[in-house]
Structures are given as structure tokens and as C-alpha cells.
Amino acid sequence: MLPEKAKPLVEPFIDRWNARAYEKDFWQMDTAIVFDEIIGDARSVLSESGIAFDDETLFNMFNIIVLS
């Protein structure tokens, strides 16, 4: 689950990562690098919005991207 305040950020977060799905080199990247990029981006999005988060919230944001 995500904090209630984070839910409106999900769709724009998905949209910005969906654009990467069309890049050939994205699919050739090491999984750990992609994980770090998505987690780092989620951390930035949540921080900029003033939303408190923990590792579970970051992992849930990662899963939202991977499962989209």
C-alpha cells in the first residue's frame, strides 16, 4: 500500500517510466541498475511532494512500474 497522499503521484510516475519501455538500451541494462534508478526516482518524487516514505513505500513504487 502507498500512503494516501502518494496515490495521486502514481499515474504521472508510471507515465514517465513507460517512456523508457521503448528504449532498446533500457532492456539491456542490469536489473540492479534499473532497480536503483526507479527507487531513486521514487524517493525524489515523494520527497519533492513532502510525503514521508519508508523502504516498503519505495518498493511498492518500484513494483508499480515493473508491473505496469
- The per-residue pLDDT for 39 is 98
- 56 neighbors 64 (Cβ within 8 angstroms): no
- Give the three-class secondary structure for 11: helix
13: DSSP letter: H
**What is the number of domains present in the chain?**
1
68: DSSP letter: -
- What are phi and psi for residue 16, nearest 5 degrees? -70, -30
The whole domain housing 19 covers: 4-67
The answer to whether the predicted template modeling score (pTM) of the entire model surpasses 0.75 is: yes
pLDDT class for 68, splitting at 50, 70, 90?
confident
- The per-residue pLDDT for 62 is 95
Q: What is the pLDDT of residues 23-62, one digit of tens each?
A: 999 989 999 999 999 999 999 999 999 999 999 999 999 9
